[in-house]
Structures are given as C-alpha cells and as structure tokens.
Structure 1
C-alpha cells in the first residue's frame, strides 16, 4: 500500500536522524582493539600534575632517607658510578645502539674537563628547553580535554531533544493526517499535519547542523591531540637522552675527582660536622664561609670596592669560557645574568608571607616532578645534603661575600668542594615536596624549590638578578 506524503516525510526525517545518531558514536569512538593513541577520548601520555604522595612530610619534619637510594661511600667510587649509570639506563626507553653511541661520544672526551664542562652545560640547557616545551604541551592537552568535555556535553544534551522529535514523528506515522486527495472533508487535519511538519523541519535541520559541527569539532580535537602527543613523545625522548648524557658526563668527571679525593673527603667531613652543629641556616652559612675564608675553598669572600667595569659583551664572553675554575666575573657584575635554577612557577616571593607566620627570605618555586636543578651562578659547593627541615640542600660560595642556597631537592649530583659553573646540573627535584611545605593554593604536595641569595650572610631579594627565561615556539 503506498505511503501517504506525511508518512514519507516522517520516515525520511526519522531515517536521517537515526543514521546521524548511529554515525555519532562511530565517529566519536574507535574500535576497542585500535591503537589507544587514536581514541578521541584524550588520554595524555603523562599525568598533568606531579605524582601525589600522601606520605609527604609535614612542615618542620626532617626527611627520612630511603635506604634503597643510599650509596655506600666506602665502596669503590668507580663501582658506585657504574651502579648509578646502570640505574639511570634501566629507566630509559632508548635503544641499546643510542646508549652505546652516547657513551662513545663521552668517552672521546676523557680527561678533557673543558669539553666535558661545555657538553654538560649544553645538555642541561637542552633539558631546560625540553621541560618548558613539555609543560606547554601538557597545558595545551589539558585545554583540549576541556574542549572535548564541552563538545561531548552538548552532544549528550542533544540526545534528549532528538529523541523527543523522533517520538513526535513516530506518533505522526502511527496516526497520520488524512490525505487530502482521498478525503477532501479532512482538509483541516491535513493542514494541521502539514503545519506540524513545517514547524519541526527547521528545528531538525538546525539540530542536525549543530550535531554535525560538534562531530567535526571532535575530529579536529582528536587530530590536534595526536599532534600534541607526538610533540610530547619527542620531548620526552630528548629528556631521556640528555638525562643519560648528563649522568654519564658526571660519572666521567667523578673519575678525575676521585683520584684526588682525600682532600675533598676531609673537606666534606668537616662540612657535615658543621651542619650537624649549626641550628640555623645563618649559623651554618656563617661557619661554612669562615672555613672558606680560612683557605679550605679558594674563593674571595669580601666584596671588592673597585669592581672592574665590563661591557655586557665582555661578561657574556667570560661566562662562555668552559675552562674556568674561578667565577667568570665578580658576583655583583652577574646581576641580570644568573640562571634560574629550575623551571616552574614562583609561588612565594622574597619578603612575602611564608605561610608559617614569618617573612620569606627567598623565593619558592613549584616545579615539575623530577625537574632538573642548575647552578644559578659560578661557585664552590660549600655543603650538600640534608639539613634540618629543608630537605636536601646545596650551598654555593659565589665569591665576593655572596652565597646561594637551594633547598628541597630530591637528589644532588655535585660534591662538596667542587667548583661548578653557572648552568651546570646540581641535581633533581623529587616527585613531591621534600622538606618544608609551601602554604599556597598550588598544593603542598608539589615539588618546591626554595632559593635564597645572601651577601655577607644577609638574605637579599633575588628579583632582577635572573637572566630572562628562554621561550620556545
């Protein structure tokens, strides 16, 4: 039996909408057996926030060293270095060929401290830029997730509207208006049916256009997410490769240090003894500076009233000398050139409320988990290790009466008595706050680096001393 016009319209519209609704989950979802990276539902390769640890120490609590991470100081240094490298390699996904190539590249520098220093600082710079790019990519992925949720929310809301329209069309098909050509007496019912169809049709077209636009938006979000994941993967490969390069370079340099380590071991023992006796940072830095002034660490500790006048070009040239074993320039001339020790967000500035009822004597920077920490200036390592409730700390003697303190690290690779160049890796942050927490909305469980600069043991505002941060495109 031939269908009436109203029936054919209703069937056609219903078929169109049903086909669209069936296509929606097909377009928006991928087969469960497909590559997870191709799923429209975004899943970043790494968590956007650093790993949380419910066992983070309370403010004022002393950190407890993990026995699994302790190194036997009495063992053969070469064996310790090899064990450290093996541990790093075990965490990497680099190919064996690439690892061997990196080792061969660094082995070719054996005994050349200048080349090793230059390679170490260059690798640290690449890590720094990769960390910035990773943070940017993760933020963009986070934005894509928000966009995807908004689109999916609109599509979920469209389900109800489309279901109501389909129900109305089904009712029309079950009780259609009479055909005018068959029964002229029912012209009023036919007109009413035509008016109903005419009212519904624009709404159906509008909803169909909106659904099509949202499906297209989901496709574009999927494509953007896949591109960002590729960028993120490439940057993580850079981080892994440079992590191995830095670890191997540090191990190679330690071989030379270990050959004359008797004096350094005595200096380290004395520094540790001073740290055990000191009850405050001021007391510790004062005692370490006095020992340095007495000749244990060959660095000028008083400011020179007749500082040389150097042009910016001359200062940059001095910092480019990878063979230096003394600060490139007197510390006051380094204003505006110091390297920010870690990428992150400054959550507490000098002079602000420190969240514990006091005034901050430095800056607190929230970093990524396991973020790299660099030497902010040239100097000698006066102390490294745990201290009170500050976690792992590093104190540098920058000469001219200046010191730099970095606290809250998870691991330290520098050695007491070692001269480090600005931008050289000193260690890494942990996966959470280590030592004193920072009372901010950023979250107390995030890794937080505390930075303090002192002149003649008096803290001063480091703002204006940092070099401008590099930006990536």
Structure 2
C-alpha cells in the first residue's frame, strides 16, 4: 500500500527520510561491494594456500623418498673395503649365549676371519666434538634412571620418524641386526678396542666387516610417514616436529662403558 511509504511525521518527514535513503544507499552499496571483493580474495587465497600446502607436502614426500633411496643405494655399495669376513655361525652362537651387551661386545673379536689390517685411523682430536649420528633431542644422559627405574650407561636421543642415522666417524662395521632387547643394532669400531653401539633403529644398512667413512648412512629410525601437520623436511627442521623415536648410543672402550657426552658434541640438541 502506498501509505506504507509515508512517514509518521507527514510529508516533511517522508521527504527527509527519502533524502537520507538517497544519501545512504550508494554508500551501503559501495561498502557491500568492497566486502564482496574482500570475501572473494579471501576465498581465492584459501584455495591457493590449500593448493600450495598440497604441493609442498608432495614435494617433501618425494624429497624424503629420494633421500631414502639414495642412502639405501649408498649402503648397498659392493665396492666398500672390507676389514674382515664375518662368521655367521659364530655370530649366531654369540647372540644366543649373550645375556648382556657387555658379554656380546667382549665376544665380537672372536667373530672374524680373514682379517685384514685396516689403515691407521687417528681421531683423538675429534673426541668430544664428534657429531651425533642423528639429529635429535637428548631425553636421558648416561647413568640417568628413567621412569621405570632402569639405568643405562648410554645416551638416549628422541628423533623424528624415519630419520637417517649416519656414522659419526670413519669406522669398521662390527655388527648389524637385532640384539637382545635393544631392537636393531649397529656396532661400529672407529679404532681398536673402541666401540660405538647404536640401538633402536628400524632399518640397518651395511654388513659386518665393511669399512665406512664419516657420515655414511647406516640405518633409518622407525615410525610411519609424517602427516600434513608434521611434514618431513630434508634437514629434519620445522616447528612442531614430532620426535616419537628413540636412539640409544653407548660408547665402550676396552669393554668399559664411557660417557657419550665426553665423545659427542651434545651442547646443542638437534
């Protein structure tokens, strides 16, 4: 009804209201157009962000897969020098009869045949500054008791899933494989009567008797691929990186345990 458009104060009020509407309507339309444009830009940015995140995840996954394949290929090299040939029978007997890591380590010298004297290795100047075999955060230092009341003479590192473990120095591989309750273990001999025990790996590379250089991949930590929120980066860096795996590091000299902090650079956690 036309009377609905009439102002209660009469024709003058109606005229004033019409003038106000004539002034406000263009401004409101302009504001609505600006908000509409902002909304379209936000939607476009969200689409671009989702697409970029998906491409980044795919790229990081491919990088990690390529790194793993490359390290596996490096570990499978057949031209590595060999210091000795492992005796699998003696190894199996030693594993079955050893109740402790100390007992197993003391019997390693009896597991070899066709031994070849290695080139002399002198890393005395590196003791105390050796790089940890994997990037991680120190959970427990030597001789610290855990919540279960267990005290070990080694170092425990929390690492990200599928982290690559490398040799901290040139060494001879003395053993690779499962051992006692330590999971997969790699035992390195950087020099005579000195052993580095690395336990808790999911995959181990190399074979006993091979001589490897510093930084050579010797295995991978366990854990599944990281999710979108915890994407793997080539350097293992990133905010909120999950560190769900643990690596146990023990140093033995003349079959006596040493404090790994005296051998490795642990002042900065990875």
TM-score (structure 1 length as normaliser) = 0.43
Q: CA deviation at 1:297?
A: 5.4
* CA distances 1:69-118 after superposition (whole Å, capped 9, x unpaired): xxxxxxxxxxxxxxxxxxxxxxxxxxxxxxxxxxxxxxxxxxxxxxxxxx
Q: 1:423 Cα shift?
A: 1.4
Select 1:379's aligned residue among 154, 159, 171.
171
Q: Give the one of 447, 455, 465 matched to 2:245.
A: 447
Unaligned runs of 5+ in 1: 46-225, 300-324, 433-441
1:11 aligned residue: 25
Q: How far apart are the structure 1 equivalents of 2:96 and 2:22?
A: 91
Give 3-state SS (helix, strand or coil) of 2:260's partner: coil
Distance 1:399 1:328, change over 3 A: closer
Partner of 2:48: 39
Kindly indicate which of the two structures has a greater share of residues assigned to strand.
2
Cα 1:337–1:376, aligned 2, differ >3 Å: closer, same or farther? same
After superposition, the C-alpha distances for 1:163-219 in whole angstroms (9 at most, x for unaligned) are xxxxxxxxxxxxxxxxxxxxxxxxxxxxxxxxxxxxxxxxxxxxxxxxxxxxxxxxx
Tell me, in whole angstroms, the C-alpha distance in 2 between the residues paired with 1:457 and 1:443.
36
Distance 1:389 1:25, change over 3 A: farther
Q: Is 1:394 paired with 2:219?
A: no
**Residues 264, 296 of structure 1: alpha-carbon distance in 2 compared, 3 angstrom cutoff:** closer
Tell me which of 82, 86, 89 is aligned to 1:269. 89
Distance across 2 between alignment mates of 1:372 and 1:452: 18
SS of 1:380's equivalent in the other structure is strand
Shift of 1:341: 0.8
Partner of 2:43: 29
Query: Which whole-Å CA distance do the structure 2 matches of 1:382 and 1:368 have between them?
Result: 26
Report the counterpart of residue 465 of structure 1 in structure 2.
263
Aligned to 1:456: 254
Counterparts of 2:148 and 2:51, CA distance in 1: 40
Secondary structure in 1 matching 2:96: helix
Q: Partner of 1:283 in structure 2?
A: 103
Whether contact under 8 Å (2:85, 2:115) holds in the other structure is no
Kindly state the Cα deviation for residue 5 of structure 1 after the two structures are TM-superposed: 4.0
Matches of 2:119 and 2:61, distance apart in 1: 34
Change in 2 beyond 3 A, CA 1:335/1:22 = same
| Matched-pair contact (CA < 8 Å) for 1:326–1:419 | no
CA shift for structure 1 position 333: 3.4
* CA-CA distance at 1:335 after TM superposition: 0.9
1:415 aligns with 2:207: yes
Residue by residue, what CA displacement relative to the aligned partner does 1:314-357 show, whole Å, maximum 9, x if unpaired?
A: xxxxxxxxxxx43530x543314423211222222223333321
Partners of 1:298 and 1:451 lie apart in 2 by 27
Residue 42 of structure 1: CA displacement?
7.9
CA distance in 1, matches of 2:22, 2:141: 72
Secondary structure of 1:29's aligned partner: helix
1:13–1:362 Cα change, 3 Å:
farther
String of CA shifts for 1:274-304, please: whole Å, max 9, x gaps: 112111111111222x427x877567xxxxx
Q: Per the alignment, do residues 274 and 43 of structure 1 end up closer, same or farther by CA in structure 2, a change over 3 Å counting? A: farther
CA distance in 1, matches of 2:194, 2:97: 22
Shift of 1:391: 1.1
| Per-residue deviation, 1:408 | 1.1
C-alpha distance 460-41 of structure 1, shift in aligned 2 (>3 A): same
Q: Name which of 119, 139, 159 aligns with 1:326.
A: 119
1:247 aligns with: 72
Query: Per-residue displacement from partner, 1:244-283 (whole Å, max 9, x unpaired)?
Result: 44433443426x77xx99x725x23322321121111111
Q: Is the 8 A contact 2:159 2:243 kept in 1?
A: no
Measured in 1, the distance between the counterparts of 2:160 and 2:53 equals 16
- Quote the Cα distance in structure 1 between the aligned partners of 2:149 and 2:266: 32
Match for residue 228 of structure 2?
none
Residue pair 1:338, 1:422 contacting (<8 A) in 2 also: no
Q: 1:363 to 1:298 in 2, by over 3 A?
A: farther
How large is the RMSD of aligned CA atoms in angstroms? 3.9
